[in-house]
Structure 1
Amino acid sequence: MPAFSKKKLAIATPTASGGFRPPEALVRALSNPYISAGGAAGLFLLTTVGLIAAMGDPQAGTPVVRISLAKVAAMAAPPGWREALLAEHGGDAALAEETYSLSESPAGPGGEATITLPGGRSVHPTSPLPPAPIAGLTVAGPNGPLPVIGPGGRTPAQAYARPFTSNGRPKISLVIGGLGLNATATRQAIETLPPEITLSFVPYSENLQGWIDLARANGHEVLLEAPMEPVDYPENDPGPYTLMSRAQPAETVKKLEWLLSRATGYFGVTNYLGSRFLQSNEAMGAFSDSLRSRGLAFIDDGSAARRGGGLPRASAERIIDDALSSDTIDQQLLALEAGALQRGQALGSGFAYPVTINQVANWAQGVEDRGYQLAPASALMSRK
């Protein structure tokens, strides 16, 4: 946790060696309670007048609602999200007051309120997804709740996915990952990206359940990231619960169950790295069998496109932010549109870099006007 220092106001006092000493008449005047009280009142009046002159009439102009995020965090909310908002770890920004403007006719299509964020971007409130856990879809494990197939064969992959109805247009899906470690980026992704964007979270995140609850409250379906062995391990080490290509199946399942027990509410798992793990038939067999037995889906970043496993699957056709520039990300998003036009659907993946979140948010505003349908990643899955 970063250390913050607070500067104290130092008040100098006269010393024997000299320094400023006020006239005795002034000291006697200030010691008079009536004079000091009058002076304080005058100072307050002057300060108030000065603030009004500098800021203008707070009632003038167009309607504005100022919402303190700190106050929002204290309101009734899904369990755990308050802790996620207030957590202090690397990269966090202090909760600040933001300004949201309402139009003269705030009711949008269907009677929904339209909120204009700083910078002019408009968003519409969305219906939250059901809070997790859903009854019958978890059992107690040695390290926390574990997903299971529920009564009647209902699976977490079905229950926690965002509902979707196709309108016949080409479908485009995006998974934005790496969430939960940086509070600022995580809040930005949850609150500014359309609810059709699927979000994936790092299992090592503090307050992981709170972040997932907040994401689902904003309409996003959620994936959990499974760290997997890359070819340059251990120089590139994804953490203590990395799934290893040469591990015994029992060890792979044990680590995976620890990862799965970190939270509830995800419909599936996605890979983090894994260029070596994903090439091992034995390792992938144990991994896929475990997910299938628990009714979970697997969506990868394209590294496992040729892998099956007998469970709901989808693979990204491109990573949109391999090169961190706004122009390149825009080009990758346009390439996704071209892929969707050719094949009827396209899935991309990206990381929660500020530039990625910003470009995706801007792109998503007009994608449906261009003839496409934004869809959650779960809508592109097939069993293979």
Structure 2
Amino acid sequence: MKNFSYIKKITLIIMVASLIFCLGLGIGIFFAEHEEIEKQTKKLEKISQFGSFSINNKTEYSKTLPKVIAPDEKDYNKKTNAEPLRQNHNYSLKKKNHLPKWIDNSIPVFKQPEFSYIAIVLDDMGLNKNIANEVFELGGPLTLSYLSYAPNLIEQTTIASSKGHELMLHLPMEPLGDQDPGPGALLVDMKNMELNQRLNLALEKFPNFIGINNHMGSRFTSNSKLMEFLISSLKKRGYLFLDSVTTSGSVALKMGRRLSAPVVARDIFLDDVDSEKEVKLRLAQTELIAKKTGTAIAIGHPRKATLRVLKDWMHDLQQKKIQLVPLSAIAQIRLDKIN
């Protein structure tokens, strides 16, 4: 009996020790994950109005901006102190008393005080109809950027628009290296006439989009002369340019300020690594940027892992005081701040 009692005591001690060990391990993992997010976003503290920071060798641009925007419910402004976001647009071309297309084709949203605002842009849309249907059914509004060489663009974008998502044109541009950017790409050795022809052809693919962002394009967006031509051409037509920031050498933001043209840059790539863990980490970083600066722009792709994480992530936004908004809304905030 004494031996049995002794064994029982030893067993109890082992069980308690194991429990303490597991508890400590769990706490350690939690703080390790939190520390990883904080570590990779620590440089945010040093962001200036046009500063930059790097994550996994990707250069991320952001700005210190005010907090505004809110849901697009028809009667929302009657229930709250929300105000329409369409305000000053001196930085954009006005013709015949009409708003530029990036404003006219935008999804209307409203200010909501004390919220931070995130735009999610999904690139490479238009090539996979099955996964596009999954995208359409996500909550939103999302900003969907369609490749200029995708098939049936009018049909696809009409459905996307009817689901409440904002539209963009994803235009191939020449990258560094020998990777093929795709049909109709803007290349650095082209003359302005040929660039203009390709640009016009792309802009006629489908209606009601707010602007373009570059597909690849690390070589093209680093060329000041070519970017001056592109951004001035877009400004004349009333479109904005979203810099995907595929290179730290991009001159898009600088050229936008110089030409008083509507140009903004993304802050985070969500899925350079195609895994749910990666997307969750990048969304956490996106939230930190939004909380610190008022707004954040993240670019992802229509991939299974990305869509699964986004679907779950959208459920908790209200509790976090984060509003998911179309890209045009954040562009208006950032550009109004500059002007």
TM range (shorter): 0.5 to 0.7
Query: Alpha-carbon deviations, 1:227-260, whole Å to 9, x = none?
Result: 000001xx31112311012322222111111111
Amino acid at match of 1:378: S
Query: Which of 298, 316, 335 does residue 266 from structure 2 map onto?
Result: 316
Q: Does 1:370 align with 2:315?
A: no
Whether the aligned pair in 2 keeps the contact of 1:302 and 1:318 (CA below 8 Å) is no
SS at match of 1:152: coil
**Identical pairs, percent:** 26
Bigger Rg over Cα: 1
Identify the residue that residue 331 of structure 1 maps to in structure 2: 281
Q: Is the 8 A contact 1:174 1:348 kept in 2?
A: yes
Q: What CA distance in whole angstroms lies between the structure 2 residues aligned with 1:184 and 1:177? A: 16
1:163-187 CA-partner distances (Å, limit 9, x unpaired): 1112121111110111111001111
Query: Residues 127 and 208 from structure 1, CA distance in 2 versus in 1: closer, same or farther, beyond 3 angstroms?
Result: farther
Name which of 274, 277, 285 aligns with 2:220: 277
- Code of the residue aligned with 1:334 in structure 2: it is A
Match in the other structure for 2:231: 288
2:204 aligns with 261
Q: Deviations over 1:266-320 (max 9, x none)?
A: 0111110100000111111111111011001111223445442432222111101
* Distance change (3 Å), C-alpha of 1:278 and 1:312: same
- Partners of 2:255 and 2:309 lie apart in 1 by 31
Write the distance in 1 (CA, Å) between the matches of 2:126 and 2:184.
17
Tell me whether 1:196 sits opposite 2:146 in the alignment. no
- Please give the alpha-carbon distance, in whole angstroms, between the structure 1 residues aligned to 2:265 and 2:164: 22
Please list the CA deviations of residues 307-351 of structure 1 after superposition, one character each: whole Å capped at 9, or x if unmatched: 424322221111010111101100100111111111111111011
Q: CA deviation at 1:368?
A: 2.1
Decide whether the 8 Å contact of 2:72 with 2:109 is kept in 1: no
Residue number in structure 1 paired with 2:311 = 361
Structure 1: 5+ residue runs without aligned partners?
A: 1-125, 130-147
CA contact (8 A) 1:252 1:283 kept: no
The answer on whether the counterparts of 1:329 and 1:356 sit within 8 Å (CA) in structure 2 is: yes
Q: Is the 8 A contact 1:244 1:283 kept in 2?
A: no
Contact 2:231 2:255 in 1 (8 A): no
The 3 A distance-change label for structure 1 pair 272 and 340 is: same
Give the 3-state SS of the residue equivalent to 1:227 in structure 2.
Answer: strand
Q: Could you say which residue in structure 1 is the equivalent of 2:48?
A: none
Deviation at 1:367, TM superposition (A): 1.5
- Quick check: 2:123–2:145 contact (8 Å CA) kept in 1? yes
Query: How many residues of Structure 1 are paired with residues of Structure 2 in the alignment?
Result: 238
Classify 1:277/1:383 alpha carbon distance in 2 versus 1 (closer, same or farther; 3 Å): farther
Question: Residue 289 of structure 1 aligns to a residue in which SS?
Answer: helix
In the aligned structure 1, how far is the partner of 2:183 from the partner of 2:278? 34
- Looking at both structures, which has the greater relative contact order when contacts are Cα pairs under 8 Å and sequence separation is at least 6? 2
Secondary structure of the 2:320 match is: coil
Q: 1:332 to 1:212 in 2, by over 3 A?
A: same
3-state DSSP class of the match of 1:367? coil
What SS does the corresponding residue of 1:298 show, helix, strand or coil? strand
- 1:2-22 deviation digits (Å, cap 9, x = unpaired): xxxxxxxxxxxxxxxxxxxxx
When residues 183 and 338 of structure 1 are mapped into structure 2, their CA distance, relative to the original with a 3 A threshold, is: same
2:129 to 174, 183, 186: 183
Partner of 1:42: none
Structure with more helix by fraction: 2
Report the equivalent of 1:219: 164
- For 1:6-85, list aligned pairs within 5 A: none
Contact 1:149 1:294 in 2 (8 A): no
1:108-165 per-position Cα deviation (integer Å, ceiling 9, x unaligned): xxxxxxxxxxxxxxxxxx9899xxxxxxxxxxxxxxxxxx976413221111111111
In structure 2, list runs of 5 or more residues that go unmatched: 1-70, 75-92, 247-251, 332-336
Pairing 1:301–2:244 present: yes
- The CA distance in 2 between the partners of 1:333 and 1:213, in whole Å, is 28
Deviations 1:206-239, CA, capped at 9 Å, x for gaps: 110111111110111100011000001xx31112
SS of 2:156's equivalent? helix
CA distance in 1, matches of 2:135, 2:338: 29
Equivalent position amino acid for 2:263 in 1 = R
Matched, 1:379 2:335: no
Per-residue deviation at 1:375? 1.4
* Distance in 2, Cα, partners of 1:214 & 1:128: 20
Tell me the TM-score normalized by structure 1.
Answer: 0.59
Q: 1:301 to 1:368 in 2, by over 3 A?
A: farther
Q: Indicate the RMSD between aligned Cα atoms, in angstroms.
A: 2.2
The 3 A distance-change label for structure 1 pair 356 and 307 is farther
Q: Give the whole-Å Cα distance in 1 for the aligned partners of 2:109 and 2:98.
A: 20
Alpha-carbon separation, structure 1, partners of 2:170 and 2:285 = 25
